[in-house]
Structure formats: structure tokens, C-alpha cells
Chain A
């Protein structure tokens, strides 16, 4: 529409800004809007489009999770600690999109430092699910998910450490892709658990996701863990035939935690794939049940170290009156961090301590290897793994926040992909009690194209992804 000049970038941006002002008071998905700068860029974009020489993303607005550093634009990471932090630089993924002409509209709400599965740990208040405002949109990329689901942004960036893109995508009825570890640069993405964190996309369709990923992904000399492989033209392989593809369904995904209605929905969705020629196979990933405890050793260990830099000395929250150096550290961190962040820092400090390192951290690393091996073995016979993204649809705000272990179990289906560094996608596959439900696909390393191809063809056959939340004016 932009290219054919039916509508200008400026008009698109205005429309989204209007929707934000109409609905975000109740949804709370933005922390900071980048209105003036975005407006200026959209006018420039329209000129460029008029001149007939636009870049691939010229004039397309997007929302960025508030975990990505944005030069001159406040980046809070959902925390009081960084309430007033204005980064002097752009994260690589942000500049990748900006360099292709995309326009940052604003920064979205999230669980504090991406630690949470409900968006309730945000210092800036919870995000509400547009399908039922009393419910959580999931987390930690809840703000990005809701912005896309409710039409407050056409597309958004998120990060996924244990399911933080896929679970909120599932809860809000949109498509969420976590690329392979190393596919996108982590430079400028505020670290939670470095060996698991990966930037990704929340969008309405696999097609939008594919187009954005082409600009987002790629090797970055500033991130030693990013991988030097070429970025395929994802949008060109979306319609490739999937006939004869073999997909594994791990029996471990179908445990007592999965509710019956959800299970039934999943198997109905499978039929769509079968009609497209996909063959299904029962498989087993024997160490999958250990993924949650493994994750809750590795991730806190890394976070306890990653978050040590927030001491109030160079930036971030600093309390005015403290007695001495110890008191300075204690007070700044006590007030600057919320309960869940502190819980994980303490857990992480514990598992790395002398005398516990072998029993926890080292053991968890070994289990992590086993989980990776399970997948590796499985992928010898299959092209992808499928299962439900979550055990249930969106839960109520306040329902689980006081019970961390129940909350942690939310990510039981998504965490293994992070531990193994694999790409995974969640796409809507129907509704359970009028709430969207997601189907997850996991593929071998750097097989994002496979995920997008499968999802795109599914979305050609179904309209779950086109459903819009009630009570919001149509986009």
C-alpha cells in the first residue's frame, strides 16, 4: 500500500498514534513514545517513496521492546533502575531496521529485565490482554505482543530467553518468532541471560515476519556470539511446498498440565498441516522435563552476573543518602530492582557459589547438553517439532504472580528451544474459551526459513491470525 502510494507513511503513523492515544490507557503496552522523531522520519520516508528509490522498509513503523538500547530514546528495561536511562547508542538490531528505512514508534512495556511470564513484574505496571483486559498477555515481551495484537503497531521487536516472544504471541493471537541463537546480534540488547537471549519478531503474519527478519538478522562484529552465515531471502521461500515434510510430536509435550480443550485444538490444527502433505510422527525428547529446572539455574546464574553493573555509580538509580559503600550498593539495588529480579539474582548468586557450583551450575550445563542432543538426534529423522506453545490460554492478572514456581512452569514448552539455541515460532491455531491459543514449531539451527514457510502456508489455509480482539475499532 505504501509503495503504491495509496497511503503515506505519515498517514500510517498518524493512525497508529491515534490508536495508541485511544487504547493504551487501558492496555499499557508502551512505556515511551517516539512520536516527534517518528513523525519527522515518516515525512522523509514519504519523500523518498515519492522519489521512487525507497529502501526495503522505508516508512514502515515498528515498536521496540524497551530492552533494546535506542540512542536518545529512554530505555528502561521495565525497571526503576533504568527509569531515566537514555542510551548514547543504538542496539545493532535497531540500527539494522533503521538503516533499511523502518521507523521506531516507541518502546514497549515488558517484565522487568525480561524476567517474568506475565508482564506483571514491570515497574511501569502490567500490560493487559486485548482479548480480555483482566488477563495477562504473557511476558516478558507482553507490550510488544499487545501492541501488534491490538493494532497499536504493525510489527514489533521482542526478545526471547525462555519463551518471552512465543508465549505472549500465543496469548494474544499473533505470530512470534525466536530466531536461532546467534542469528541476530545481541549488541545493545540489555542482557538477562546471555547464552539464551535472542532478539525476535512479533507480527500478524509469517510473511511480515519474514520481510522484517531479512533486515534484522546477520552477523555483527560487535557480538562474538553472532554467527557468520548469510541471511536467506525468507520472503521468497514462503510458498515452497511442504509436502512430504516430516514433523515430530514429542510425547513429553502432552502432560497433565495441558488442558484437554487446548490439546484437542492442537490436534485439529495438525489436520491443516496434514492436508498440506505434512507427515507426523510421534517422537520422544527424554530430557525435556528437565528443561525448566535447568533453565532456572542457568538463567539466574548469568543474570546475577549481568545485573551486577547496576550499582548506581555510572548510570541508573542512585539513592541520595547512604552511609558507606556497602550501604550505597545495597540501597541502590534494593530500591532499583523489583522482587522477581532480586529473587533471580539471589538464586543465581547461590548456584555459582563455592560448594554449590558443581551441584547446580555445572550439572545444569550438562543437562543442557543432553537436551541439545535430544533435539539433534530427533532432527535426523524429522524436519521440525510441533506442539502447543503453552499449556493453557492467557491466565488472569494476579493469578500466578505470588507463586513463582507455577509462573515458571508457564514456559515449560518454550524453554527447551532456548537451551538448545534452536529457532522456534508460535502461530495462532484457534481459540479456547474465546482466548487465542498458539502452536509452536521448533526447527534445526538456522532453519528459520522452514518455520516461516510452514506457518505461512498454514496461514493461507486458516484465518485465526486475522481475528481481532473485540471492543477495539478495526484497523
Chain B
């Protein structure tokens, strides 16, 4: 039997608000436990939530970026369940009327063609605290710093049909929230995480199969692996004629497998009802328009601009614009660089990325400023150094934290473009290798690069390669 995979994702994006969604406490990460929880976050008797408007604006930005509808009236609801890191015994979320609904975005499917994925809804909610099970023997510690942190839960339609598509969708959402600066996208810290709903159905049928939900996946790799594992597991069961049990599963990245966390019967009855402490959230259409007018340039527009205004290759434009930090760096370099921007793009995507990889730093933490980087490329275009030497200079910039011109001067790396100087060296080389010269004259033209190499060796790579080639050919002819 041939099965079709159906995947839907619920992504939790932690909103980059300065304070929590219903209290004034800060949302900093990595602060000493329980120092960032106010009486409201602690669920003290008598306290009340007050909605953080910044979170609302961020949710609207997201909605507009995915062409969704923004609800003029949405409702906060209480999701009731007991857990030690849930101080009030309920989570304030949105249930029946979310702030954002009916959106979509486009991804590339396996065949490289565009595929539209629907976004059912995105709603605002508060995060719970953290239970720490491994710090004390036999006891669980609770850190409520995270309690009340604003989240946007983004729910897709079940429209992805492979782990690759799921990743493409998730990366797209990741890109959007980062472009909008509404989430730092840090998956290690849990600022961007995802639950995956996976089911299989007979190819060609419409009715969805029984699904399982894999909770709390916090890397693209895990999402892909967990879904892939789950697809195989379900396929095996179905092929044996067995039924899938609707349940929540956990992904174990060490063993690369998913395990039952709780079955449907063990699920809480959350007893959702409108939170009487919060009025319905009413959003004026003029506010939506104002936010729309202030939306930053998004990915597609950026790629187009890079191709049209900067004149770089489309593939390079896409690759640069994929990561907003890289795009910002690129634009800063290009703004001070005087020359062909394709050089900037190429250097960024090869030399700079490989250094970042090697050093294991993100571009935000990179020690070479866009200005210095532009200066380096400027020295190539103005003929001061060759592209090859520039790579060495770049390495020195990274390691010695010195400026371009200082490195070139102190190491004597300026390109030799003095004709007579190059001529003298060429004569020297031709005299030193008469046999090779003979071979060349007998038609073995490849030998030319040997002579170029010898000249470069003698000049420590500083000779202007174009001039070397020209003069070499001339001299040999004579």
C-alpha cells in the first residue's frame, strides 16, 4: 500500500518583548532562578493580569507578514491544568477567537516548485515556568523566570507531506519572525520550538488518518529526524494492519526515536473558558494599517532589490537574504564599498561564511566590522593587493584584530605592478628553467602556469597576476 504523509506544525515563537505578557517583569534569559518573577507571575492571591500591548503589535506584524486576517476582536481564555511550574493552575491563552487567522506562505516542495502552506491561526499566550528535575536528588526544582513570557503560537494547516517540507515551512516562519524582529529565533534557548502532528493516509484518499503529536522539538534537525522516525513507525504499524493510537509523543535525540508521553485518554480536559480578568482584545483597523505601513522589508522584496539594485546573482541574493543578520552585514558593506557588489556577495558567501564556521561565531559576534570588510575588498578592486593575498589579509584581520591597510603595509603585501620589476623577475625565471622554456616552445603550453608560479613564488604572491601573464607571453615570444 502506498501511504501519503500529512504533517502539521505548531510553532511557539517567544516574542521579543521587553517585559512579560501580563506583568512588568523582564524577559531576560539566563538570569538567576526565580529573580524575574513578579507577584503576578507567581500567581499570588489577588493579583490580576494586564495585557502587554507590545505583544499585540508583534502578533499583528506576524499576521500581516503571512497575509492573514487580524481579528478586530479576540478573546483570552484560560487553559486549566495543574502542574507545579504553572503558578495559577491555568495558562492564559487564546482559544475560540485568536488574534491572527487564515494566513499562508509559500515554500519549495521536493520538486523545487512553489507550494502554499496554510496558517490556520496564530494566538498570543503566556509561557509556563520550568521544572528542573536533574538538579536535586529526588526533588524537582521550579524556576518561574520564564512564567508569563509572551509566546505566539503559530498553527499550520496539515498540508506538508514530507519532513523536508516541514523543515522548509519551519525555516520560512523562522525567517519571517526574525525579519520582523519579533523573536530572536534562538532554538537552543527555546525561543523558537515546535510540536509536529504526523499522520498517514492511503494515497489518493481525503480523510486524515489518526495523528500523533511530537512535543517540544527545538532544532530543525530534530524536527526532521523525529518526523522521519514517526513516519516509518506509523507506516510499519499500518502495513501490519494495526491501528495508530492518538497520543502525544516525545522525541529522544540520543536514541533518535519517539516514545509515548501520554495517550488521548490521559489528556487533560483543559476546561477552556474566557478569562474574566481580561476584556476582549479589540483592535482598531487604523492600528492595523499603521502597523502595516511600518512593516520592514521582507525576504522576497529584499532578494528582488539585491538583484535589481545591487546587480548580484539571484542565487547569491537568496542565500544572503535567507539570514537577516547576513543580509544586514551585506547591506552595510555594500553601502560603503565602491565597486562591483558581486564581489561583496561572493566574498561574503565563501570567505566570510567559512571563517564564521571555523571560528564557530555568529555574524553578530564577528570581530571584523562591515566597514573593515569593505575596505579589504576595496584594496582588491584598487589593485593594492591580489584576491589571493586578500584572503591572507582577511585571516590576519580575524586573528590579529588589525586594520586592512596596517596589515598590508606592515607585511609588505602590496601588489607589484611595476612593469620593469616584474620583467626583471621573469627574465630571471626564464633563465633558470631553460628546459621548461624549450618544452613550451615545442608546444606544451601548459608550462606557462609553471612560470607564473615561479614568478609568484619569487614575489611571495605579490606580483600582479594579469601583468605577469602578459609580460611572460611577450618575453617568451621574443
Interface residues of A (CB under 8 A from B): 68-69, 75, 77, 82, 85, 87-89, 91, 186-191, 193-195, 221-225, 301-302, 304-305, 307-311, 313-315, 325, 329, 349, 352-354, 357, 361
A-side contacts of B142, CB under 8 Å: 313
* Sample of 14 more A-B contacts, CB < 8 Å, known A191-B45, A222-B48, A314-B44: A68-B46, A77-B45, A88-B44, A89-B39, A188-B46, A189-B46, A223-B48, A224-B277, A225-B276, A308-B80, A308-B90, A311-B84, A315-B44, A354-B269
B-side contacts of A353, CB under 8 Å: 269, 271
Looking across the interface, which residue of chain A has its beta carbon closest to that of B84? A313
- Can you pick out 21 interface pairs between chain A and chain B where the beta carbons lie within 8 Å of each other? A68-B46, A69-B45, A186-B48, A187-B46, A189-B46, A193-B276, A194-B277, A195-B276, A223-B48, A224-B50, A225-B48, A305-B89, A305-B273, A308-B88, A313-B142, A315-B45, A329-B82, A352-B271, A352-B272, A352-B273, A353-B271
Interface residues of B (CB under 8 A from A): 39, 42-51, 78, 80, 82, 84, 87-90, 142, 269, 271-273, 276-279
Say whether A187 contacts B47, CB under 8 Å.
Answer: yes
CA–CA, A354 to B46, complex, Å?
28
Say whether A309 contacts B87, CB under 8 Å.
Answer: yes
Looking across the interface, which residue of chain A has its beta carbon closest to that of B51? A224
A-side contacts of B276, CB under 8 Å: 193-195, 225, 302
CA–CA, A222 to B44, complex, Å?
14
Say whether A224 contacts B279, CB under 8 Å.
Answer: yes
Say whether B39 contacts A88, CB under 8 Å.
Answer: yes
Say whether B48 contacts A224, CB under 8 Å.
Answer: yes
Partner of B279, one of A225, A302, A307: A225
Partner of A187, one of B43, B48, B89: B48
Q: Which 10 residue pairs are nearest across A and B when measured between Cβ atoms?
A: A308-B89, A352-B271, A195-B276, A194-B276, A188-B46, A309-B43, A69-B46, A190-B45, A190-B46, A309-B88
Say whether B89 contacts A75, CB under 8 Å.
Answer: no
Partner of B273, one of A77, A88, A308, A357: A357
Output the least CB separation between A53 and chain B (Å). Answer: 33
A-side contacts of B44, CB under 8 Å: 69, 87-89, 314-315
CA–CA, A354 to B272, complex, Å?
9
Say whether B46 contacts A221, CB under 8 Å.
Answer: no
B-side contacts of A186, CB under 8 Å: 48
Output the least CB separation between B86 and chain A (Å). Answer: 9
CA–CA, A221 to B50, complex, Å?
8
A-side contacts of B82, CB under 8 Å: 308, 311, 329
Looking across the interface, which residue of chain A has its beta carbon closest to that of B273? A352
CA–CA, A361 to B276, complex, Å?
13
B-side contacts of A89, CB under 8 Å: 39, 44
Say whether A75 contacts B45, CB under 8 Å.
Answer: yes
If A194-B276, A308-B82, A329-B82 touch, does A82 touch B271 (CB 8 Å cutoff)?
Answer: no
Looking across the interface, which residue of chain A has its beta carbon closest to that of B22? A224
Looking across the interface, which residue of chain A has its beta carbon closest to that of B88? A309
CA–CA, A349 to B47, complex, Å?
22
Looking across the interface, which residue of chain B has its beta carbon closest to that of A69? B46
Output the least CB separation between B445 and chain A (Å). Answer: 82
CA–CA, A111 to B236, complex, Å?
60
B-side contacts of A224, CB under 8 Å: 48-51, 277-279
A-side contacts of B80, CB under 8 Å: 304-305, 308, 352
CA–CA, A313 to B141, complex, Å?
11
CA–CA, A319 to B269, complex, Å?
26
CA–CA, A317 to B82, complex, Å?
16
Say whether A305 contacts B271, CB under 8 Å.
Answer: yes
B-side contacts of A85, CB under 8 Å: 45
CA–CA, A361 to B271, complex, Å?
11
B-side contacts of A304, CB under 8 Å: 80, 271
CA–CA, A82 to B46, complex, Å?
12
CA–CA, A373 to B81, complex, Å?
34
Say whether A87 contacts B46, CB under 8 Å.
Answer: yes
Output the least CB separation between A32 and chain B (Å). Answer: 15
B-side contacts of A190, CB under 8 Å: 45-46
CA–CA, A354 to B273, complex, Å?
11
Partner of A225, one of B43, B45, B47, B277: B277
B-side contacts of A82, CB under 8 Å: 45
CA–CA, A253 to B201, complex, Å?
62
CA–CA, A88 to B46, complex, Å?
11
Name which of B45, B48, B278 has the most chain A CB atoms within 10 A of its CB: B45
CA–CA, A77 to B142, complex, Å?
26
A-side contacts of B39, CB under 8 Å: 88-89
Looking across the interface, which residue of chain B has its beta carbon closest to that of A191? B46
Output the least CB separation between A70 and chain B (Å). Answer: 10
A-side contacts of B51, CB under 8 Å: 224
CA–CA, A301 to B77, complex, Å?
13
A-side contacts of B271, CB under 8 Å: 304-305, 349, 352-354, 357
Say whether B45 contacts A87, CB under 8 Å.
Answer: yes
Output the least CB separation between A131 and chain B (Å). Answer: 32
Output the least CB separation between B171 and chain A (Å). Answer: 36
B-side contacts of A222, CB under 8 Å: 48, 50
If A224-B277, A325-B84, A361-B273 touch, does A305 touch B43 (CB 8 Å cutoff)?
Answer: no
Output the least CB separation between A114 and chain B (Å). Answer: 12
CA–CA, A329 to B84, complex, Å?
10
Output the least CB separation between A71 and chain B (Å). Answer: 11
CA–CA, A307 to B80, complex, Å?
11
A-side contacts of B272, CB under 8 Å: 352
Partner of A314, one of B42, B48, B273, B278: B42
CA–CA, A73 to B80, complex, Å?
31
Output the least CB separation between B220 and chain A (Å). Answer: 34
Say whether A188 contacts B49, CB under 8 Å.
Answer: no
Looking across the interface, which residue of chain A has its beta carbon closest to that of B278? A224
Partner of A305, one of B49, B84, B87, B90: B90
Output the least CB separation between A21 and chain B (Å). Answer: 29
CA–CA, A302 to B142, complex, Å?
27
CA–CA, A77 to B50, complex, Å?
24
A-side contacts of B48, CB under 8 Å: 186-187, 222-225
CA–CA, A230 to B47, complex, Å?
24
B-side contacts of A88, CB under 8 Å: 39, 44
CA–CA, A106 to B217, complex, Å?
53
Output the least CB separation between A106 and chain B (Å). Answer: 18
CA–CA, A310 to B13, complex, Å?
30
CA–CA, A85 to B43, complex, Å?
14
CA–CA, A89 to B42, complex, Å?
13
Partner of B89, one of A87, A194, A309: A309
B-side contacts of A313, CB under 8 Å: 84, 87, 142
Output the least CB separation between B166 and chain A (Å). Answer: 30
B-side contacts of A357, CB under 8 Å: 271, 273
Output the least CB separation between A422 and chain B (Å). Answer: 17
Output the least CB separation between B327 and chain A (Å). Answer: 39
Looking across the interface, which residue of chain A has its beta carbon closest to that of B270? A354
Looking across the interface, which residue of chain B has its beta carbon closest to that of A186? B48
Name which of B42, B90, B271, B272 has the most chain A CB atoms within 10 A of its CB: B271
CA–CA, A349 to B269, complex, Å?
10
Looking across the interface, which residue of chain B has its beta carbon closest to that of A89? B39
Name which of B42, B47, B90 has the most chain A CB atoms within 10 A of its CB: B47
CA–CA, A260 to B89, complex, Å?
47
B-side contacts of A189, CB under 8 Å: 46
Looking across the interface, which residue of chain B has its beta carbon closest to that of A350? B271
Output the least CB separation between B1 and chain A (Å). Answer: 34
Output the least CB separation between B278 and chain A (Å). Answer: 6
A-side contacts of B277, CB under 8 Å: 191, 194, 224-225
Looking across the interface, which residue of chain B has its beta carbon closest to that of A302? B276
CA–CA, A193 to B277, complex, Å?
10
Say whether A305 contacts B46, CB under 8 Å.
Answer: no
Looking across the interface, which residue of chain B has its beta carbon closest to that of A308? B89
CA–CA, A349 to B44, complex, Å?
21
B-side contacts of A87, CB under 8 Å: 44-46
CA–CA, A423 to B236, complex, Å?
66
A-side contacts of B49, CB under 8 Å: 224
If A305-B90, A311-B84 touch, does A188 touch B47 (CB 8 Å cutoff)?
Answer: yes
